[in-house]
Chain A
Amino acid sequence: MSQVTSGSNPRTLADELRSRADSDLAGLLLARPDLLSPLPGDLSQLATRAGTRASVQRALDRLDTFGLQTAEALALAGPPCSQDDLAVLLRDGEHRLSEALATLRSRALLWGPPTAMRLVRTAQELLAPTPQRPGPTGLGPTLGETVTALSPRRAQELLAANGLRATADPVGAARALAELFSDTDRLSSLLAEAPDHSHEVLRRLMWGPPQGEVSARPATHLRWLLDHALLVPTAPGTVVLPREVALALRGGRSHRDLRPDPPELTVHTHHRPERTDVVAAGQAHRALSLTESLLDLWEREPPAVLRTGGLGVRELKRVAVALDIPEPEAAFWSDLAYAAGLVASDGGTDERYAPTPASDEWLRLTSPERWTRLAGTWLGTTRCAALVGERVPQQGAARGRTADRSLAALGPGLDRGPAPELRLRLLTLLASVEPGAAPEQSAVRERMRWQAPRRMPDTLRELLCSAAFTEAEHLGVTAHGAISGFARPLLTSAHARAAEPDHEAVALLTGRASAATPEAGARPAAPDAGDATEAVAPTVADAGAGSVVLDTTGPELPGTGGPRDTGYVRDDGGAPAEGATVPAGASPAALAEVDPEAAAVSAAELLTPLLPEPLDHFLLQADMTAVAPGPLVRGLARALNDAADVESTGGATVYRFSPASVRRALDAGRTAAELHAFLAEYSRTPVPQPLSYLVDDVARRHGRLRAGTAAGYVTCEDEATLDQVMADRRLAPLRLRRIAPTVLVGPAGGDLLLAALKEHGYAPSAESTDGAAALGAGTPPRRTPPRTAPEPQPDGPPGTDAALLRAAVRAIRSGDHAAGAAPNAGGRPPSDPPSGLPRTEPAETLRLLRAAAGAGSLVWIGYVGADGVATQRVLAPVRVEGGFVTAFDHTAEEVRTYPLHRITGAAPASA
C-alpha cells in the first residue's frame, strides 16, 4: 500500500511520487505502460507525463465502475478533499472506498494526504461536472457559477425571497444561498412552503440531467422555485438545478446508483467437470479437423483474394458447404486460420489464399499442441470474425459516392483493439467460478461492463462478448458455458503474455493467492439479487440523456448529447487493463512464476488424454470401404485420402475405394505393389479380395495408353538400322528415343532429322502427314497456302479518264494559243482582260465554272494565292466538284486544281 508519510505533506504529485516506494512506482508503470515510452527522465517528468490528457484518459478508461465513481466524486468535491467528505458523497460505498482510493493513488491519478486528497488536474477537469456537461453524476453547476451570471439586483431579490440579508456582491449572495441550502433543516422548512408541483419538479431534476426548459411565462410553482434560487435560469427558456440544492436533496450522494461491488456472477448450470472436459475436448477435436479440412480444401482449390482484400462471399459459402457448417462459423475458422498464419495470400498476380509453410509445421504437431496453437491465437488476436458481413463506409471511394462495403473474412477492418483483453477477462470470469459451473451470460456481460465501463462503447462490448461466448464454445475452450479444465493454463499464459497483466487473475488461475493481493480473498460478498438487477441501469449513458422538459406547455426537445459524445474508445493496442480490484502496488511476483510456454504445454498435457489418440491402422471391409475408427496419423490419413474417397467424417472416417480413387493414387505416383503393401500393412483386417482385384484391375489399365510430345520421328522396318542410328554418336544431339523396336522419336523436327541423317551418311526420306506418301517423289515443288495478292498502294496520281484527257488536249491547245504561235485560231484567250479582278457571287462563280466545264470554254478568274496576292488567270475548267475546280490553267500552262473559296469571281472569256 502506498501510504504518504505523515507529517510531510507533498506539495505536488511529483513530490508525492518521490516519496513512494519503488515497488509502487513499478506498479504504476505496470498499470500505465504508456508512461514508459519514452522513459521519463525524472519523477517530475513522470508526474508531468502522468498528467497529460491522453494518458489520464487512458488510465480513466481502465478503471472499474466504482473506481470511476470515486474519481468522479473526488472531482465533484474539488481539491482538496478529505476522505470523510468523500465518504458522504459515496455513501454505501465506504467498505470499498479505501481500496478504490488506493487504486487511484497507485495509478497516479490521486495524490495528497487523506485529509487533502487531490485528483491530478487533468482528471479533475475531465471528470468535474460543468454547465455544458453534467457528467455521470448528473449534477449541475454550483450556485456560485450560476448566480454570478445574474444581475446584482436579481441576486439581492433572491436573497430577500429566502429571508437572507443583502450582501455586497453576487459572490457573497451565492455563498449565503449555498449555506442555506446545505443546512438540511433550513432547506426542508423552506421546501415546506413550496407550492404543490414544485416538489415534483425538483425530484425530476435531482438525479440529473439538471437542466430543464421553461416557457417564457412559467407556471406558479416554477416561478416560486426560480424566485427562491432553487432553480436558476441559465439561458432564455432554460433553467438549472444548482449543485448544492441537488446534493442536499440527494442527501449528499454523488451518484444515484453507486456500485461499489462487482455484480454477482450468478451460476446458470452445474455440470460435472469431467463431462464439461469431455464435451469441450469433442469440440476441440472438431476444431482441429475443421481447420485441417480447410487447409486441405484451400490447398486444392485456393480461393481468390478480393481486390479490396479478404475472402469473397461466394468463397466463404464454398467453405461453409465443404465443411458443412454455417457461414458465420466458416468465417470464424477461416479467419482464425489466417490469424494463426496457417493460410495467407500467395501474393501472385492472380492473388489467392493458400496454406502457408507454417501450416505444414502446424500439421506436424500433435493434436493437443495444434489445439493450443489455435486457442492461443484466438486469445491473442485482435481480429474479430463476428464482424464479417457488417457494412462499413467504403474507404477511398470516389468523392461524392456514399457506397459502403461489407467486411470480408480475412480482409481488412476486422481488427478491434480491445478484443483480446475482453476475451481474456470474460474467460477469467468464467474460470473464477468452480469447475463445471456455467455462469449466466447476462451476469458475465454485466460484470464485464462493471469492470471497465469506459473502455469501449456498449454496442461493441456486447458484440465482442457474444462473439467470445460462441467462439469459445466452437473451440472447446468452454463447453455448455463452463470453462474446460485444459483451457485454464492457457488463460494464465495469456495473462502472462499480456502487456498489462492481471495479477489477480493470474493468482486465481494458478490457484495461489499472492501475498501481494490479500484483498482478493477478503472481498465483501456481492450485493443481493435485488441490487444486482437494479444495477443493470447504466450509470454513464443515462446521465447524459439531456435536459428534461419541465414545463408541460413547452416543446419536447430530444436530449442533447451528453458524455456519450466524449468517445470512450481508443484502440490503442488493446493491451489488457487491470481491473480496479487489483490492489495498489501488486507485485509481479505471481506473474514471474508463470512461464507462458510451460502453461501452453500443460494445457496440451491436460488435453492429451481427452482427445482421441491418432491411430496407425484402419479396417478394410468387403464392401470396398475402409474405416479408420478414430483420427489417423497425419501421413496415413494423407495416403489413404489419395487412394480412397472420404464418405463420412466425425470421430471415425469412412473411406470408399473406387476405380477413380485408385486411379488417383496411381496418378500420384504410387504403384499397384505399393498400394497392396500399404493396405496390407495398415489394415487391421485382411485385405478383401475384391479390393486387391480393384487395385490390380485399375493398375493394369492405368497408363496403358501413353501420350507425350515429340517433334519428329524416325521409323525403319529394319531394326538393325535403327540400332545403328541409336549407336551413332554423331546423332546424339538429336536426343532420339526408341519408343518401339522400329520407331525413334526426338524433340527435333522432321526437317532437322532429315538433314542430320543425310549429313551423316544415312539416306532418309521424308514422310508426309498421312504417312502414306513415304518415299519416292522427293521434295514436291514448294507452294504457299492460298494467298490473296496485295492491294495496290499507289503514291502517284490516279489514272486519267477521257474527259480529263480531252481537257488536257484542250489545255495544251490553249497553251499554244497563249504562246501566240497560232493567232488565227478561235481558241485564243481574250487579249483584253476585264479591268480589275472579276468579282461575282460564289453561286454565280460556280455556275460559270460548271457551264465552262460543260461547254469546254474559257473563263477568267480572280484567284487569291496562298501568299495573299490576287491574280487573274485564264482557265479551261475540266471538273468542278467537292469545292475544287480542276482546269487547264492557260496562265500557268498546266493542269491545276484550285479551291473554290479562293476564287474571287469568274467571267467568261470570249475567245
Chain B
Amino acid sequence: MNGPLIVQSDKTLLLEVDHEQAADCRRAIAPFAELERAPEHIHTYRLTPLGLWNARAAGHDAEQVVDALLTYSRYPVPQALLVDVADTMSRYGRLTLSKHPAHGLVLTSTDRPVLEEILRSKKIKPLVGPRVDPDTVAVHPSERGQIKQTLLKLGWPAQDLAGYVDGEAHPIELREDGWQLRPYQQQAVEGFWHGGSGVVVLPCGAGKTLVGAGAMATAKATTLILVTNTVSARQWKSELIRRTSLTEEEIGEYSGARKEIRPVTIATYQVLTTRRKGVYPHLELFDSRDWGLVVYDEVHLLPAPVFKFTADLQARRRLGLTATLVREDGRESDVFSLIGPKRFDAPWKEIEAQGYIAPADCVEVRVDLTDGERLAYATAESDEKYRFCATTDSKRRVTERLVRRHAGEQTLVIGQYIDQLDELGELLDAPVIKGETSNAQREKLFDAFRSGELSVLVVSKVANFSVDLPEATVAIQVSGTFGSRQEEAQRLGRVLRPKADGHEARFYSVVARDTVDQDFAAHRQRFLAEQGYAYRIVDASDLEEAPEPDAEG
C-alpha cells in the first residue's frame, strides 16, 4: 500500500519520480502505458487502447498489466479500470492479417461474430475481397494499411502477421571509428527492428540521424529517407557519408533541385507533395525501387498525402523519427497506426542527465509594452493582435539587449515575421535566413556560423527543424507560430547539441506582457514544461540590473 504509482479513474497513471521503486515501476508500466508528461516530481502515463494493444503485440498479456498496476499502486485500483484493461486487451488478436498460400493476404478471425460485425461495417466492405471460408476473408494487398487503420478505429485491431518484404539488399555498415552508437540509440534501433516498424521519439539534438543510420545498417537494404527540406537532406547525406560505409555515389537526393534515385535516396516532403493537375507525380518514388526501409524524419510533420501513400507501404519496414510527437492537428494516432507504434521514447531530462544533450536554461522574458503600444494593441483588429504584439519595438529593443549581453556566444534569433526579422538583422548587423534565401546561401551562412565566422544569425521558421548547428548556445525567440508546442520544442532543440565545453544552453522567449503573446507562450511552453523544462520568467526591466545569468548557477 505504499507504491509509487497512483491509478486515476481517467486511466492516467501518476508515477512519483522520487519514490524508491519508481525505476522498477517505470520499467513495468512502460510497455503498455504512454508517457504523457514528465515534469519534475510526478510523471503522468496514460493507458490507451492503442498502448494496450501495442503491449499485446509485443507479447504482454492483460494479467501482466493488471499485476503491474496492482503491485505498484499506492491505492486500491478501481475495479472498473482493471476490467476495462482486460477487455481492451482481449480485443487484440481476434483478427489476424496473414499470408495465405492461395488467396494472398487474408483476414482471419478466431471469433466469428467479430468478423461478422466488422464485415458489416461500411468502411471495411470496400477493403475486403471474397469470403474464403467462414472465418477468413481475403484482403486486397494494397489495402493492408487501410484495413489495419480502419479496424483500429472500429476497436478490433488486427494482428499483422503478414511480415515485411526484405527489399533490395544493399550493404550498409556503420563506421564506428572513434565513436559509437550511444546506449539509448542502440536500444532505439533494436526496439525498432524487433517491432518491425514504428516510431522512435528522441529529444532534439540526441542524434536521431544516427538511429536512422543504425537502422539502415541493420536492414542492409535500399532505403528511402523522407526529410522536411533540402538543407536537412544535405545534412542527412553528409552525416551518412561520415558515419557509414555509404559513399557519395550511393546516396541520391530527390528534391526540387535534383531528382536522383540511388540505393539510398533522400527526398523532401515538399517535392513528394507537389501536386500537378490533381495528381502527385513524385509519389511514384515510393515504387521506383524495391525499398527495404523507409525512414520518415520529423514524423510529426508528415503531410496528409504522404500519410495516404504510407498506408499502401505496409509491407515495407518503416521508421519514424521525431522529437515531439505532438501534432497540433491531433493526428498522432494516424502516425501510430500507419508508421507503427512508438518503439522507443526517452524523457528529455533523462538524456540530459546522461550528458548527451546540453542542459538548457529556458527563460521567458516579459516585456512591458509602452503605453502607446498598449493602446495600439487594444485597438488592433483581433486577427492582427498577435502579429502586433509579437513584433513591437519594445520586444526588438529587449532582443537587442539580449544579443549584446551574450556577445561572443553563438546566438540564433528566431522569429515568425519576416519584416521583424529583417529589421532585427539590420539592427544587429546579422544575416537573415528566410524562405526566399537560396539553399546555397543558407548553407554558406550555416557553415560560417558553425565555424564561428558569424556569431549571430537571424532565422525564420525555415530553421525550425533539422538544421544542425552544434555550436549555437543561445537562442532568442521573438515570435512564433501562435501556440505551437512542437515548434517551441524544436527551437529549443537548436541549442541542445552538447557543447564542446559542456556549456549550458540558453533559450530566451521574448513575450509581450498582458497580450495574446503571453497566452500563446504559455501554451507553447506546455510540451517542454511537461518534459521537465522549468521556465524562468524574467522581467525585461530586470535584465539590465540582473547579474549575468551564469553567475546565478
Contacts and interface: CB of A to CB of B under 8 A. Distances in A.
* A and B: interacting chains: yes
A514 interface: no
Interface stretch (A241-249, A343-351, A624-632): A624-632
Interface string A314-329: 0000000000100000
Given A622-B529, A622-B532, A624-B529, A652 B537 contact: no
B534 A688 contact: yes
Interface stretch (B5-13, B209-217, B397-405, B434-442): B5-13
Nearest to A658: B522
B79 A283 contact: yes
A871 interface: no
Interface in B37-66: 37, 39-42, 44
B431 to A, nearest CB: 34
Interface string B495-523: 00000000000000000011000110010
A625 B39 contact: yes
Contacts of B75: 282, 285, 612, 630, 650-652
B516 to A, nearest CB: 12
A690 B9 contact: no
Contacts of A285: 75-76
A623 B526 contact: yes
B78 A286 contact: yes
A818 interface: no
Contact of A622 (B9, B10, B40): B40
Contacts of B514: 697, 701
B8 A648 contact: yes
Contacts of A651: 6-8, 73-76
Interface in A265-309: 278-279, 281-283, 285-286
B35 to A, nearest CB: 13
A533 interface: no
Interface string B531-545: 011111100000000
B537 A689 contact: yes
A619 interface: yes
A649 B78 CA distance: 12
Contact of A650 (B8, B37, B366, B534): B8
How many B residues are at the interface, by size bracket? 35 or more
How many A residues are at the interface, by size bracket? 20 to 34
A282 B78 contact: yes
A627 B40 contact: no
A640 B93 CA distance: 45
B26 to A, nearest CB: 16
A828 B14 CA distance: 122
A622 B529 CA distance: 6
Nearest to A694: B522
A685 interface: yes
A652 B42 CA distance: 11
Contact of B42 (A619, A630, A659, A688): A619
B77 interface: yes
B345 interface: no
Given A622-B533, A701-B514, A629 B78 contact: no
Contacts of A619: 41-42
B290 interface: no
A632 to B, nearest CB: 13
B530 interface: yes
Contacts of B513: 697
A623 B37 contact: yes
Contacts of A659: 519
A654 interface: yes
A215 interface: no
A624 B8 CA distance: 19
Interface string A81-122: 000000000000000000000000000000000000000000
Contacts of A324: 9-10
Contacts of B37: 623, 625
A621 interface: yes
Interface string A609-637: 00010000001011111010110000000
A214 B73 CA distance: 74
B535 A650 contact: no
B365 to A, nearest CB: 12
Contacts of A627: 14, 41-42
A410 B314 CA distance: 57
A296 to B, nearest CB: 16
B7 A650 contact: yes
Given A281-B76, A283-B79, A622-B532, A648 B42 contact: no
B41 A621 contact: yes
B253 interface: no
Given A619-B42, A622-B535, A279 B79 contact: yes
Contacts of B535: 622, 689-690
Contacts of B39: 621-623, 625
| Interface SS of chain A | mixed
A649 B9 contact: yes
Interface in A371-425: none
A697 B40 CA distance: 23
Contacts of B532: 622
Nearest to B75: A651
A624 B525 CA distance: 11
A630 B2 CA distance: 11
A689 B542 CA distance: 15
A646 to B, nearest CB: 10
A693 B513 CA distance: 11
Contacts of B526: 623
Contacts of A281: 76
Counting chain A CB atoms within 10 Å of each CB, the highest count among B37, B74, B79 belongs to B79
Interface string A647-689: 0111110100001000000000000000000000000010011
A690 B534 contact: yes
A629 B6 contact: yes
A623 B530 contact: yes
Contacts of B7: 650-651
B251 to A, nearest CB: 41
A654 B14 contact: yes
Interface in A438-465: none
B16 interface: yes
Given A278-B76, A282-B78, A688-B534, A623 B529 contact: yes
A629 B534 contact: no
B41 A654 contact: no
A622 B361 CA distance: 13
A629 B16 contact: yes
Nearest to A685: B41
Contacts of A479: 79
Contacts of B366: 693
A283 B79 CA distance: 8
Interface in A213-254: none
A649 B40 contact: no
A711 B384 CA distance: 39
A371 to B, nearest CB: 13
A483 to B, nearest CB: 16
Nearest to A620: B41
A231 to B, nearest CB: 54
A629 B8 contact: no
A159 B75 CA distance: 83
Nearest to B526: A623
Contacts of B519: 659
A701 B529 CA distance: 25
Nearest to A621: B39
B553 to A, nearest CB: 15
B537 A690 contact: yes
19 contacts: A279-B79, A282-B79, A479-B79, A619-B42, A624-B522, A627-B14, A627-B42, A629-B16, A629-B74, A630-B6, A630-B74, A630-B75, A650-B10, A651-B75, A651-B76, A652-B14, A659-B519, A690-B534, A690-B537
Interface of B: 1, 6-10, 12, 14, 16, 37, 39-42, 44, 73-79, 364, 366, 513-514, 518-519, 522, 526, 529-530, 532-537
Given A282-B75, A648-B10, 4 more contacts: A283-B79, A612-B74, A625-B42, A649-B9
